Amino acid sequence: MKKVLVLEDEANIRSFVVINLRRSGYEPIEADCGEMALEQLRRHPDIRVALLDVMLPDIDGFEVCRRIRASNAKIGIIMLTAKSQEMDKVTGLMTGADDYVTKPFSPAELTARIDALYRRMGGDVEMEDTGEIRQGPFRLNTRNRTLEKNGERVRLTQIEYSIMKYFMDNPGKALSREDILNEVWGRDYFGELKIVDVNIRRLRIKIEDDPTMPTYITTVWGFGYKWGF
C-alpha cells in the first residue's frame, strides 16, 4: 500500500482528504498536529508522500516540513495552503516542499498532485506497470484503453476514450474546445468545434450520474469544459 501522511488539524478537511485518498488506492496515515505527524513518520518509515497543512495548533506546517527534510530527503511533501497565504507557497517551497495545493481543492486535483509526485520520485512502479489512472469512481486503463466507473465497464469509442484520458491528465483545469480538438483529433483536423460538444454530450450520458446535471464534466461558459469532482 502507498502510504500518505495527512497532517491537518481540521477534522472535516482531514476526513475529506482521507476518504478520497482511500478511494484512489492510497493508505492515509493521519495526524492532527505537528508533533503527531513527526511521530507517525517515525512509526511508518515507508510513508512516501506527506500532505502538510500550514496553520496548526502546535508547530506550523513549514517547521514540520523543515524537520522532516532535515532527516529525510526522499519523501515527497505537498503543502496545503489557504488562498490568503499566497506568500506561504514561496516559503513552503523554500523550506523543502515539492508542491503546494491551495484550499479549497478538489479531490481530483489533490490525487493528481500526489500521483505526479509519486511518479516523479520513481516510486510508483505499481501505477506505471498497470497503466492506470484512478480518480474518484473512475479507473482508466491506459493499456487496454478502457474505463470503469465504480468497478463497472463503461463502453467508450476511441474518441471518447481519448477525451477522457485528456481530462484525467488535466483534472480541475479548464480546457478550451480548441485544446480538446487539437489533442484528440489532431492539429490538422479540419472539423468544426461542434464535434467536441457532440462527443462531450455523449460522454456525459455514459459517465455522469445525471447527464442533465453534469458534475464530472462541467461546462466553462464561452470557453470549454472542465474535469473534476
Question: Site for Ca ion (CB under 5 A): which residue of 25, 27, 35, 55?
Answer: 55
- Tell me the residue type at 1: M
Q: Nearest Cα to 172, choosing from 122, 113, 117, 125? A: 113
Where are any strands of DSSP class E within the chain? 2-7, 26-31, 49-53, 76-82, 99-103, 132-135, 138-141, 146-149, 152-154, 174-176, 217-220, 224-227
Q: Residue 9 or residue 183: which is nearer to Ca ion going by CB?
A: 9
Does the protein bind Ca ion through residue 59 (CB under 5 A)? no
Q: Per rule CB under 5 A, is residue 63 in the interface with Ca ion?
A: no
Does residue 36 touch Ca ion according to CB under 5 A? no
- Tell me the closest approach of the beta carbon of residue 53 to Ca ion, in angstroms: 4
List binders of Ca ion among 129-188 (CB under 5 A): none
Site for Ca ion in 4-33 (CB under 5 A): 9
Q: Does 53 bind Ca ion (CB under 5 A)?
A: yes
Please, what is the minimum distance in Å from the beta carbon of residue 61 to Ca ion? 8
Name residues whose C-beta falls within 8 Å of residue 125's C-beta, 6 or more positions apart in sequence: none
Residue ranges that bind Ca ion, judged by CB under 5 A:
9, 53, 55
